[in-house]
Structure 1
Amino acid sequence: MTNSDSDKCWAECLDVAVEVARKAGKVVQEAVKQEKSVSTKSTPTDLVTEADQQVEELIISTLRDRFPSHRFIGEESSAAGEKCILTDSPTWIIDPIDGTCNFVHSFPMVAVSIGFAVNKELEFGVIYHCFDGTLYTARKGHGAFCNGVRIHVSKEKDVSKALILTEIGAKRDQATLNIFSGNIMKLLSAPAHGVRIIGSSTLALCLVATGSAEAYYQYGLHCWDIAAAAVIIREAGGVVVDTSGCLVSKCPVSYWLVQEEA
């Protein structure tokens, strides 16, 4: 495949991803009004609903019909025991409902996230805010957009003038909570303007991409939490770093998969 052919092909994939994300978002919008069947995964606070599984199946089946040779990594498929394997093949990385706890409580920060990697490098990302219909998209080398309007990260570099976003996460053991509260205290002592928790890593990262917040940090993210958002952040002029502070210059998916296997 020539560069021109691949460029056209990935552009088509992005268009399909937008279409599927909107379709999945409408399913979530309807599901949030219904009684929810809720169960847990790794911890009592790591929630999953039937809607998570149904939306992931909708996304994967639709994409597989269009692109039968492509591979898939999905949050709920992985939770069910399917191995996360990243190859050079075109691979879709899917979080059907990011912010499941928010979804359960009808708290309006819930998103569908679809990332796409080729040769182990992220090509594009699509994140759809299910409650208000905001669509974030980005493609490598083509910029990042919110509802079709170009976006850029904040130019503020002084932490004392920054709004920082984070998340508590599903682990609530004492050691994890000590680390979490310690990090909050350091930021507030800096002092940052403020620290916010919205319950959706993908939407938090999109807020960083639009310049509404200066930074987001979190330990324990999975590849489906970061794949689409990483492209959006980078194309908006931001950076994605790992927990050692090193710049993740290429696709972070391999790094996050290693963390999940550890």
Structure 2
Amino acid sequence: MSDCSAQKCNTDEFYNVVLKLTKSCGELIKSRTSNRSKKVETKSGAIDFVTETDQEVEKLLIEGLTEAFPDHKFIGEESVSSGAHADLTDAPTWIIDPVDGTMNFVHSFPHSCISIALFVCKVPTIGIIYNPMLGQLFTAQRGKGAYLNGERITVSGTKNLSDALIMMEFGTSRDPEKRRVILENQQKLMPQVHGLRALGSAALNMAMVACGAADAYFEYGIHIWDIAAGELIITEAGGVVIDPAGGQVDRLSRRVLGASSQELAEQLAKELTQFYPERD
């Protein structure tokens, strides 16, 4: 048996440990959501917030998982922001966004979540997205389906752009070219789709596609920790995750498109004006 195959056999143990840690961290986030006096910093001059809660949750997750699985690796949003590299290798690697939707969290807007995934041999194996404010727990293990609060979920199966509710984000970038592309795509899509929505969290946008509440989501400028859990949850719910221009998703390209069907994904990709951020 290869090292990768052997590691995959332990996923139930990995899942049980990370689920318990995630729920515990969710209680911490929930207890601080209504506190409008949160200590907030910005990253690299952009409107990109980090709070003490982001840092504390990531620390608790990494410490708890390291204690249980000392040989596992980590890619964490706050760790990378502090200078660590986002290197995805064959080693079991936990990819963590401690508070996805930090701006929402800062404003007590109840659409923030913990997003955590385990990749083994560069393959998504476990995915958890937990919004403790609304009690939404999305989970998936590779080959075992996707679930919301323990109930199995599936994508909508929508195939036509005209019938689709599309999730997209305006983001916080000050890059004028990116802003131009976002607005151009909004103007292109508005007359062609059923509707456009944004929750302010990449992970929760992907979760909405997975449970059939939305039909597709795309974004430029995200990072691997924003989408790692959502990728598995969408695919285990029967959907697809591709590059926004079509073809296989590159998880370090900072680009993603998730959809309820291959047909819808391809239609959407053909309509989009593309933008290529600097890679992770």
* TM bracket (short chain): over 0.9
Q: Contact between 2:15 and 2:126, CA under 8 Å: does it hold in 1?
A: yes
1:10 match: 11
1:95 match: 97
List runs of 5+ in structure 2 lacking aligned partners: 256-276
Residues 4, 92 of structure 1: CA spacing in aligned structure 2 closer, same or farther, 3 A cutoff?
Answer: closer
- Is 1:220 the counterpart of 2:221? The answer is yes
Matches within 5 A, 1:17-36: 17-34=18-35, 35-36=37-38
2:62 match: 60
Q: Contact between 2:223 and 2:252, CA under 8 Å: does it hold in 1?
A: no
How big is the shift at 1:8? 4.2
Relative to the length of structure 1, the TM-score reads 0.92
Matches within 5 A, 1:3-152: 6-34=7-35, 35-152=37-154
Amino acid in structure 1 at the alignment position of 2:206: L
Please say which of residues 18-27 and 98-107 is displaced more in the overlay: 18-27
Alignment: residue pair count: 258
Residues 253, 176 of structure 1: CA spacing in aligned structure 2 closer, same or farther, 3 A cutoff?
Answer: closer
Equivalent-residue separation in structure 1 for 2:154 and 2:126 (angstroms): 16
How big is the shift at 1:199? 0.3
1:204 match: 205
Q: Contact between 1:154 and 1:212, CA under 8 Å: does it hold in 2?
A: yes
How big is the shift at 1:5? 5.5
How big is the shift at 1:4? 8.2
List runs of 5+ in structure 1 lacking aligned partners: none
Residues 247, 224 of structure 1: CA spacing in aligned structure 2 closer, same or farther, 3 A cutoff?
Answer: same
How big is the shift at 1:113? 0.6
RCO higher in structure (CA 8 A, sep ≥6): 1
SS of residue in 1 equivalent to 2:139: strand
Amino acid in structure 2 at the alignment position of 1:26: E
2:258 match: none
Residues 196, 261 of structure 1: CA spacing in aligned structure 2 closer, same or farther, 3 A cutoff?
Answer: closer
C-alpha root-mean-square deviation of aligned residues, in Å? 2.0
How big is the shift at 1:170? 2.0
User: Pick from 147, 151, 161: which aligns with 1:159?
Assistant: 161
Identity %: 45
Matches within 5 A, 1:154-193: 154-190=156-192, 192-193=193-194
SS of residue in 2 equivalent to 1:189: coil
Runs of 4+ with deviation above 6 angstroms: none
